[in-house]
Structure 1
């Protein structure tokens, strides 16, 4: 059983040792054959650095590393090129001065390793001199591979140094166009496609392959790749957990699959998949390694929680660029991996895209963080509380559920509890979001404001053989008992449960009145 390459981003180490490697060289061959200046956006920890490393070894002509891979018989190994590989995660950029100093030292080290003496002073000038000198001394055009090109921008986004860092990078990337005669191939990876940065404005021919269906699985693992490359790990993990292979694969797919960049080719998150086979337990591996607090707070403040609760329909402008000075939320959520393309369809002559949360790992983690942000209840305690609440609903434990709700909502800010009714609509909307996020966290499918032939129900939560039809009522002054009467009566009168009569139906009413919360759980009477 091959060793899982956790934390290993070097193609040379993977291929020189007994590490598992999923062959992506057919995509790479197509890419190099068809394009010369390429940009790829993928979320963090999605295999971009390994892809860059693979390209570097290929252009350097390290033939033995590729034996047994698709490209081995497709590549002209007599053609070797000098490679400049820049990984911006390894360059200090706390200030513009730090960044200029570090990148200058890095370029000097490449020059020294190639017997070149650089004489120019500024970082961008050194970059240009290095490219020209490598071309001149080797007689081969230069390959430039830039990993996480936007890392300094994202890390200084809300800091005073941001403008200086962006300005310096603009000059630095501008060298690529000026050095075009000396370049064989340029490949840039990043999380975002940053607007107002010369790498895109001056390189007009940049091939952005982010949502190109030819490269939809260039990073991540397809279902076929998972089954063929991880077969031994699947068998061993199924035996360890005492489940069937089919059951295990269904759960892995639910937790870690679902990212698509063309709406039809789902791939597994490679980091979470590797971690799962290593630890042999389901957990939120990718989400917990770096989800920024500002993103959760932004979802809350901008009232964008509905964005991750229900599908979002967008056009292609969402994928075009990202302006760090004017954050747009949907592009940010897509580019950082919290939304993915669920469907692409043609509307007239323009494509239209449906975006949604990729899988259970991201969905559950987002729900916990969002619910914690709205209620101030610790995210670390959300899962046990949610499991207890689900048990209380299924066992008709009204008193227990009511107490659990009070515990969860005890820290809700006072601003959600006005003494007058002027802000009632806004508060009802906030409680609806809390209600929907909470129910999603319980593990059901939620269909908010689902339309029936008798009107719109607030939510229906489905499990095999079971439907929980829920109605939420909010009023600043009306007593909770009155609101609960109204909620249950509305479900019965409108017969929201009619399409679920083939299963057991539970009626759930939730009421908020000021800071008071109440609930009622009833079983639908047969023949009702």
Structure 2
């Protein structure tokens, strides 16, 4: 049994130390034979992008000439022609993964540092008589600026944007061969620019950098970029008509990033975990790339093989900051759609694969495109409403798997950190019929956190508390999925209830010596034309549950009438009143 190495992104290191590795080298042949000049591949984070890029570097770079031992026994080494191709190209390998500054000046400095590091890797060029003095001077300019030897000295955007093209020319002169350029995590600076408010400035800079590096570069053999999102062509790729874009919806390279189900099951067999296949599938399966279903995220699988227990490995491997920010500050529409997803239902929304970060501030549907690209949602089906405009495609989406479900549940609870320690007490109060305990908890939540949320631009402000707490309560109850079937906004009797909890076991008295109750919840905002007090509003909510016969569905499924709890939630601004019977 091979050792599992967590977080190792060096292909050479993995192979030399004989660590666990899922063979993805067939990608080398597949990509090379496509003959695409510049390829952009987007996949969610921690899906093996960096490791695959390092694999390409080890295969093509003349730095690894005569290092076929790294590929012995792997798929690519079965190809005689590719054995001769290994180690024959000059390669420029960059990563923007660490460019995460909160302003443009520091971001530019980080760009220079990354480029300068690449120049240092090829410092042997300085000893060559094939380079002009002007070309050798570029080395000094980049190094001086990157090391802050003279903080008052500025380096022009033009020199930075042309630096990789200039290096490609030097390598071409030295080797007599065009270069391969590999750029990992190209979009990390773009996301930081959006979050920190210098998007337009960085777009202008990056457009010039990409144009020089990938479009007007006669010394380029081929290039690959990887990232999470496909940033709009109109922003940074406007000049690149030689760009082949491969997203999670594309049919190319569908099994290259991530593990297929067969690869996962083979690994479980190897590690004597065969009996855990069903549980592993429920938690970590669900990603869909093109028409390839049953893709698993590698990070969770590798951690599971190492630790042999279920946990939120992928979901908690980063802060999920951008998604968290967009959902938390989003409109009521966004929160209601998330509520639908958390309840196990699907949503239908238009998807545009080209992320325009500036649109995230005013386009409510743009968040779903970002969540799909990031791996939080999966495609159930697609309907092409207009074959001409890709952005008009409507997709039916669902949460990817159980790990993502629990990630969003924890995310919601973190929004309410002032009262999160009492969350379990609220759930107990709800099940036990402790009206006073429920009121104490909900009013504390309303007082401490409600005002920090956007009530929604397209929903009447009087409905905001109802929609807000509807989603919040549903999020709290996700913790009970082992005990309850939780549904929302479904038909029962003569209407549509807000939230229903159906006990999975209707007869076993396992909860504090008694059977778990069925629960029906109705939310109402005070209507001044009909009610003068919250007491009247909550009574109207309870009366609606009875008159609309919302119990009908629970009774039909075997829950006894006397074991059903009704709760009404009444709201007036940040005031909350709960009652039940």
Scaled by the length of structure 2, what TM-score is found?
A: 0.76
Q: What is the CA–CA distance in structure 2 between the aligned matches of 1:66 and 1:140, rounded to whole Å?
A: 24
Match of 2:82 in 1: 76
Match of 1:172 in 2: 209
Q: In the TM superposition, what is the alpha-carbon distance from 1:92 to its structure 2 partner?
A: 7.5
3-state DSSP class of the match of 2:496? strand
* Pair 1:339 & 2:350 matched: no
Q: What is the CA–CA distance in structure 1 between the aligned matches of 2:409 and 2:182, rounded to whole Å?
A: 37
Q: Unaligned stretches of 5+ in structure 1? A: 236-244, 522-528
Match of 1:524 in 2: none
Matches of residues 279-318 of structure 1 in structure 2 within 5 Å? 279-293=307-321, 295-303=323-331, 304-310=334-340, 311-315=346-350, 317-318=351-352
Distance 1:462-1:46 versus aligned 2 partners, 3 A rule: farther
1:38-88 Cα deviation digits (max 9, x unpaired): 111122222110111111112136422122222212252222211110011
Distance 1:127-1:371 versus aligned 2 partners, 3 A rule: same
1:8-67 Cα deviation digits (max 9, x unpaired): 001111111121111122344222212422111122222110111111112136422122
Q: What is the CA–CA distance in structure 2 between the aligned matches of 1:503 and 1:333, rounded to whole Å?
A: 41
Q: 8 Å contact 2:534–2:577 — kept in the other structure?
A: no
Q: What is the CA–CA distance in structure 2 between the aligned matches of 1:502 and 1:160, rounded to whole Å?
A: 54
Match of 1:360 in 2: 402
Q: In the TM superposition, what is the alpha-carbon distance from 1:507 to its structure 2 partner?
A: 4.3
Q: In the TM superposition, what is the alpha-carbon distance from 1:336 to its structure 2 partner?
A: 2.7
Distance 1:120-1:251 versus aligned 2 partners, 3 A rule: same
1:438-483 Cα deviation digits (max 9, x unpaired): 2334325543212357332223345644594523132433317624
Q: What is the CA–CA distance in structure 2 between the aligned matches of 1:84 and 1:463, rounded to whole Å?
A: 59
Measured on the aligned residues, the alpha-carbon RMSD in Å equals: 3.4
Q: In the TM superposition, what is the alpha-carbon distance from 1:90 to its structure 2 partner?
A: 4.3
* Pair 1:253 & 2:281 matched: yes
Q: What is the CA–CA distance in structure 2 between the aligned matches of 1:339 and 1:427, rounded to whole Å?
A: 27
3-state DSSP class of the match of 1:44? coil
Q: 8 Å contact 1:91–1:102 — kept in the other structure?
A: no
Q: How many aligned residue pairs are there?
A: 501
1:315-336 Cα deviation digits (max 9, x unpaired): 4x52123334654322222223
Q: What is the CA–CA distance in structure 2 between the aligned matches of 1:492 and 1:198, rounded to whole Å?
A: 54
Q: What is the CA–CA distance in structure 1 between the aligned matches of 2:566 and 2:27, rounded to whole Å?
A: 51
Scaled by the length of structure 1, what TM-score is found?
A: 0.83
Match of 2:578 in 1: 518
Distance 1:341-1:195 versus aligned 2 partners, 3 A rule: same
Q: What is the CA–CA distance in structure 1 between the aligned matches of 2:51 and 2:211, rounded to whole Å?
A: 26
Counterpart selection for 2:543 from 471, 486, 499: 486
Q: In the TM superposition, what is the alpha-carbon distance from 1:498 to its structure 2 partner?
A: 5.6
1:121-145 Cα deviation digits (max 9, x unpaired): 4123331121122223223321110
Counterpart selection for 2:293 from 262, 265, 271: 265
Q: What is the CA–CA distance in structure 2 between the aligned matches of 1:518 and 1:59, rounded to whole Å?
A: 66
Distance 1:199-1:518 versus aligned 2 partners, 3 A rule: closer
Q: 8 Å contact 1:510–1:520 — kept in the other structure?
A: yes
Match of 1:9 in 2: 9
1:247-297 Cα deviation digits (max 9, x unpaired): x33222222222223365132222222223333333323333322445324
Q: What is the CA–CA distance in structure 1 between the aligned matches of 2:399 and 2:441, rounded to whole Å?
A: 27
1:144-192 Cα deviation digits (max 9, x unpaired): 1000111222223243654443332222111234445422221001122
Q: What is the CA–CA distance in structure 2 between the aligned matches of 1:396 and 1:250, rounded to whole Å?
A: 36
* Pair 1:471 & 2:511 matched: no
Q: What is the CA–CA distance in structure 1 between the aligned matches of 2:315 and 2:278, rounded to whole Å?
A: 20
Matches of residues 190-229 of structure 1 in structure 2 within 5 Å? 190-195=227-232, 200-210=237-247, 211-229=249-267
Q: In the TM superposition, what is the alpha-carbon distance from 1:423 to its structure 2 partner?
A: 4.5
Matches of residues 68-467 of structure 1 in structure 2 within 5 Å? 68-74=73-79, 75-79=81-85, 80-90=88-98, 95=105, 96-113=107-124, 118-119=135-136, 121=138, 122-159=159-196, 161-195=198-232, 200-210=237-247, 211-235=249-273, 245-246=274-275, 248-262=276-290, 264-293=292-321, 295-303=323-331, 304-310=334-340, 311-315=346-350, 317-324=351-358, 326-327=360-361, 328-344=366-382, 352-373=394-415, 375-377=416-418, 381=421, 385-386=423-424, 390=427, 405=442, 411-413=448-450, 423-443=461-481, 444-452=484-492, 454-462=494-502, 464-466=504-506
Match of 1:526 in 2: none
Q: 8 Å contact 1:487–1:510 — kept in the other structure?
A: no
Q: 8 Å contact 1:262–1:341 — kept in the other structure?
A: no
Matches of residues 33-72 of structure 1 in structure 2 within 5 Å? 33-36=33-36, 37-60=38-61, 62-72=67-77
Distance 1:414-1:179 versus aligned 2 partners, 3 A rule: closer
Q: Unaligned stretches of 5+ in structure 2? A: 139-158, 341-345, 507-516, 527-532
Distance 1:124-1:298 versus aligned 2 partners, 3 A rule: closer
Distance 1:415-1:318 versus aligned 2 partners, 3 A rule: closer
1:471-516 Cα deviation digits (max 9, x unpaired): 3132433317624632541463672336524899744424234434
1:84-104 Cα deviation digits (max 9, x unpaired): 100112458562541353144
Distance 1:263-1:440 versus aligned 2 partners, 3 A rule: farther
3-state DSSP class of the match of 1:30? helix
